[in-house]
Amino acid sequence: MKRRRRTEILINGSHKIVEDMANCIKDNYQVKVIQEPESGLVMLKVRETSQKSLFYPGEVLVTECKVQIKGKIGIGIVAGDQPELSYHLAVIDAAFEAMPPETIRWMELLLEEEEKVIQEQIAAANHSILKTKVNFETMDV
């Protein structure tokens, strides 16, 4: 599983799972904090669809953290002011880089969480679309 997909699952899924995974690593390995969680601004890049050109509509507040486990560096970046989540994401990222035995069972856990998250997002999108649906058979003309 690639880093981007893994991070999306962790951010969009249950934060309890993220905390449990990070605590599992913190309890068993030495975690060296390279960069404490700190806030920053990142330019938001958007591709305009008709001309396929890039433009920057503004900035987004992010929280970033870097840690090291067994010589491997992990990065946690999350939108908004969420220092704990960025720290946990950095620990999990470093753990996946170092590949201790604990990470083997995490893949199945992440896939289950992804399935659950995707189903909830699809259901929410369908619900919001169906709220705007017009039934022309009941309209008075």
Model pLDDT, residue 92:
97
pLDDT of residue 141 exceeding 70, the answer is no
pLDDT of residue 93 exceeding 70, the answer is yes
pLDDT of residue 140 exceeding 70, the answer is no
Model pLDDT, residue 52:
85
Pick 30 or 13 by higher pLDDT: 30
Angle at the Cα of 63 from the Cα atoms of 70 and 67, rounded to 5 degrees: 10
pLDDT in tens, 102-125: 888 999 999 999 888 878 888 888
> Taking the C-alpha atoms of 102, 103, 104 and 106 in order, what is their torsion angle to the nearest 10 degrees?
110
Model pLDDT, residue 42:
94
Model pLDDT, residue 104:
87
pLDDT-derived band at 89 (thresholds 50, 70, 90) equals very high
Q: Calculate what percentage of the chain has a pLDDT beyond 70.
A: 97
Q: What is the pTM of this model?
A: 0.82
